[in-house]
Structures are given as C-alpha cells and as structure tokens.
C-alpha cells in the first residue's frame, strides 16, 4: 500500500483539464500544518491493525528520526489530537480521527480523479494526491466526489472513508437523470459525469460540463443528430452518447412547483 511521507516537492502533473476548473480546487484550508496532518494520517494507517502506533513505526513510515517524531507526538497530544504514551505509542482521539478521515478521504478521491479523469498512473496519482490533499477545500472534495460519481474505492482498492458532511447525502438521495432525458426547454444542474472511458470524461470537462453548472436542453436535431444545449452562456452541439454521460438534477419551474403542491 502506498503511504505519504514527510512533505517534499513534487512536479505538477499535466492535468489535461481546463485551468478554470482546476484553479478552484485548491484553497488555503488547513488549521493544522501539513506535516501535522501527515502524522495523523500515518497514525491512522498504522492503527488499522493494532491498537497503538509505535514511535519507531511512525518514524519509518514518514522517513523521519524517532527523536523528531517524539517531539511532534507530544505537541499533537497537547492539542488533543492523539493519546500518546512515551515508550508505548500513539492513538487518535475523536478529534484526531476526524481530521485523519477527512484527509484520507480527500487523498483517495484525488487518486480516483487523477486516474479516471486525468489519466495519471497509480504512482503519479498517489504522489500528486499527497501534495493536494492538504490544500483542497471541503467543497472542492465534494465536487470531486460528484465528478467521479461518488466512488467507494481508490484505484488500489482501498475503501474511501464516508463523507462527514451531513449535506453530502444530497449527492446520493436527490434523483439525477441523464442529460438526454430532459425535455426541450428544460434546465438542470450538472451533478456528475459517468462513463467507463476516461477520454470521454476529459472531453466533457474540456467543454465545460462540470458539477454545479447549469445546462439547458434547447433542441434535438432529428434523425439521431446531436442535442443543442446551452451551458451557462455557451451553445454546444452534444452527441447523444456524451449527453448520456452527464447526470443532472432537473430545475423545477415555478409553475410546475405550484402544480405539484396542489
């Protein structure tokens, strides 16, 4: 299993998706330092099969000296992120577990995004996820979850921790439909993209079909032709096969809402 180590510089991947989309994925987020989050993540990994994470094991996992690890563990203990017994080891408190699960979720969602959407290999995706997991916001992680269709496992088959945001259940419970099932004149919000072909997903993203954007079906070209859709301020002729890969939430018109309420 891949594991993040102490932070270092990574060369950015050529993500191959529009800058307007990638640019909003990162923001100044952490209340904890990046290295502190790495410690909590390492302790989480090491305590999956044992009660305590030993100082020597943490040092080996993070490629640091035991002395520097002991110093950081004392700080994390003082801030109530871990329970730490010198010469024995450390375990996560509820406070620390919440941080570790959030970071682990972001890491594995990023790996899924980088492999499925960007086309990176597993090693590249892991290294880039190690860097990005500390800087993307919670809202951006939710967008990635939607974009990758709420994945349950990372590319290595490890489970992705459940979202701790109570509002995240909206992604699963609200009915979504393929774009090509809308009626002419219907507008909707893009929820996620679904395709087994990463090249198709990248093509859709490059055209601007990303979660949160509003799309309107204006007209269907006869004889199996494309759909004419309005995406924000742009008009696009979208092939039916691509339209089926765009899942949306219908916008309920005021008139329809009144009729439904009667």
Residue pLDDT, tens place only, 121-177: 888 899 999 999 999 998 889 888 877 878 889 999 999 998 877 666 555 556 678
Q: What superfamily in CATH does domain 177-261 come from?
A: Ferrous iron transport protein A (FeoA) (2.30.30.90)
pLDDT, mean of residues 167-188: 78
- pLDDT computed for residue 164 by the predictor: 77
- pLDDT computed for residue 7 by the predictor: 44
Name the band, by pLDDT with cuts 50, 70 and 90, for residue 29: very low
- pLDDT computed for residue 253 by the predictor: 53
CA–CA separation, 194 and 201 (whole Å): 8
pLDDT, mean of residues 196-225: 88
pLDDT for 252 beyond 90: no
- Range(s) of the chain covered by CATH 2.30.30.90: 177-261
- The reply to whether the predicted model has a pTM over 0.85 is no
Handedness of CA 136, 142, 145, 151 (dihedral sign): positive
- Range(s) of the chain covered by CATH 1.10.10.10: 1-164
Topology adopted by domain 1-164: Arc Repressor Mutant, subunit A (1.10.10)
């Amino acid at each position: 299993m891949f594991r993040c180590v102490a932070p270092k510089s990574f060369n950015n991947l050529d993500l191959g998706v529009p800058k307007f989309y990638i640019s909003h994925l990162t923001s100044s987020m952490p209340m904890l330092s990046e290295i502190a989050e790495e410690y909590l993540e390492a302790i989480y990994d090491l305590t999956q099969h044992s009660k305590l994470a030993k100082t020597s094991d943490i040092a080996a996992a993070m490629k640091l000296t035991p002395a520097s690890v002991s110093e950081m563990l004392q700080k994390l203990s003082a801030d109530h992120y871990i329970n730490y017994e010198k010469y024995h080891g450390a375990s996560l408190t509820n406070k620390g577990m919440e941080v570790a699960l959030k970071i682990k979720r972001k890491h594995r969602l990023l790996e899924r995004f980088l492999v499925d959407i960007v086309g990176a290999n597993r090693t590249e995706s892991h290294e880039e996820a190690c860097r990005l997991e500390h800087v993307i916001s919670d809202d951006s992680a939710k967008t990635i979850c939607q974009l990758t269709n709420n994945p349950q496992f990372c590319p290595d088959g490890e489970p992705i921790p459940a979202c701790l945001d109570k509002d995240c259940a909206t992604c699963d419970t609200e009915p979504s439909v393929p774009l090509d099932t809308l009626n002419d004149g219907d507008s909707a919000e893009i929820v996620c993209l679904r395709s087994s072909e990463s090249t198709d997903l990248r093509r859709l993203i490059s055209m601007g079909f990303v979660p949160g954007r509003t799309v309107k079906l204006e007209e269907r070209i006869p004889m199996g032709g494309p759909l004419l859709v309005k995406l924000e301020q742009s008009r696009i002729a979208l092939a039916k096969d691509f339209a089926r890969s765009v899942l949306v939430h219908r916008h309920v018109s005021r008139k329809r809402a009144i009729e439904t309420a009667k």
